[in-house]
Amino acid sequence: MERQRILGREDRPRLWAVLDEAVIRRVVDGPEVMHEQLRHLIECAEQGKTTLQVVPFGAGAHAGTTGPFVILEFPEPTDPDVVYVETLAGDIYLEERSDVNRYTLAFDRLLAAALHPDDSVRLVQQVADTMT
C-alpha cells in the first residue's frame, strides 16, 4: 500500500513494469478483486509516468522467470543504480556494477520479449473484462 501511495503522488517516480502474462491471468482473491487490480494497472499506465508491458505466454522462458527484481535509478550521477530483490529469505540490495549490469541486461531482454505498451494495456483490459 505504501508503494501505491508513492506512485499516486503528483511527484511520483517514473515506473517501468514488465509483468509475466501469468500475473494478470492468475486469479487472486476472486474475480472482482482481480478486476479492480487489473483496472488499477490500466489507470496507472494511462496516467503517464508508468509504462506497463506484458511478456506473453508465447515468448516462452524469459529473463524474468527467476523472480522479480527492481532496478532503482537515481537522477544524481553520484548515486549509482541499485538492484532490489525480494526473497523469502529477506530483501537484497545489489550495488556492485557487475550485478547491476547483469540485471540491466535481463531487463533489456524482458523488454525485447514483451508486448508493446499499447498492446500490453489492451491485453490487460481484455483479461479484466473476463473477470466481470
User: To which residue does cell 547483469 refer?
Assistant: 102
Q: What is the pLDDT of residues 67-111, one digit of tens each?
A: 899 999 998 989 999 999 998 999 999 999 999 999 999 999 999
Give the Cβ contact number of residue 112 at 10 Å. 11
Mean pLDDT for all residues in the chain: 92
Model pLDDT, residue 94: 97
SS in 3 state form for the chain?
Answer: CHHHHHHHCCCCCCEEEEEEHHHHHCCCCCHHHHHHHHHHHHHHHHHCCEEEEEECHHHCCCCCCCCCCEEECCCCCCCCCEEEEEECCEEEEECCHHHHHHHHHHHHHHHHHCCCHHHHHHHHHHHHHHCC
pLDDT, tens digit (0-9, with 9 covering 90-100), for 1-25: 787 788 778 888 889 999 999 999 9
**C-beta atoms surrounding 37 within 10 Å:** 17
The pLDDT score that the predictor gives to residue 21 is 96
